[in-house]
Amino acid sequence: MPRNRRKKRQDPPGPAGFLVVDKPVGWTSHDVVDAARRWLGVRRIGHLGTLDPLATGVLPLAVRQATKLVPFLAEGLKVYVGTIHLGVATDTFDAEGEVVRRHDGPLPDEAAVREALEAFVGDIEQIPPMYSSVKKDGVPLYRLARKGEEVEREPRPVTIHEISMPHYAPPEIGIEVVSGPGTYVRTLAADLGDRLGCGAHLSSLRRTRSGAFTLDQARTPEAFERLADAGELEAALQPADEPLGLPRVRLTPIQAQKMRHGTSIPAADARGDFEKGDPPRPGDRLAAMLPSGELLAILEFRPDRRFHPIRLLEPS
């Protein structure tokens, strides 16, 4: 006889949306997700972009059906402020690692550091650190690193849009970085140290922006805990469509029913924000909204002048 399989526990019904957590130092991104699952009593929660335990700041969480929107939000710019310690290199490229090299000579002057930083602006390649969640043959690199193993890693293309150095107080320098997704700021710190010839590591980091999510939207875990205890946490969810920033199409009940079955609708029969501006062009994306105001789908305008659903949600 086949074994009885335990049924997966269903999440209670509720709205889809986003929580923006101000991650504390020492917490992993998974720690934040686990805490949010306790606050909401919901398993279907995912984060948008890992932050190292050393780092603090903006960590957006997608709740319930909003997890389907993560691929549409992953390409946004990231903004970081941090501190790099010159003259000391570590195996993790940050302050949590073991020291592997100390520089005994004089540290580079401010002009040399600024010139070196400018070399990293633009499209560059980074080799992921061994202490990272990047996988090699299905195994996270950090697991191999904890065993004392080091394996070859392929360089990855990343884009750094801006780097500034607000203060220079050796051995510490302050940096602000605006980058595309996938950038390791601690790898940037280590590469800077190599370029300068003195070694360096990242001593602190705070993310102030992740795509559409900013620090002024973020709350601490303690604040979310209080909202949960008061039964007010779901009301604090950022609606699923807001960070997308897409023009809205307001569906009629009949159109919504068709879209639930994957049927496209003629643009001529639709009403929404797109009527107020330039007409949509093929490839443009829009947010399909139910009469209740909830997001139902992400649409794409096609050459046949119809709105086609490319990602369907099913609000509660």
- pLDDT band of 2, cuts 50, 70, 90: very low
Task: Tell me: pLDDT of 187 over 80.
Answer: yes
Average pLDDT value for residue range 35-57: 93
Active-site residue list: 52
Taking the model in full, what pTM does it have? 0.89
Q: How far is CA 310 from the centre of its chain?
A: 22
- Domains, the chain, in order of start with CATH, read 17-75+213-239 (3.30.2350.10), 78-208 (3.30.2350.10), 246-312 (2.30.130.10)
Q: Tell me the backbone φ, ψ of residue 39, rounded to 5 degrees.
A: -60, -45
Task: Tell me: pLDDT of 240 over 80.
Answer: yes
Task: Tell me: pLDDT of 99 over 50.
Answer: yes
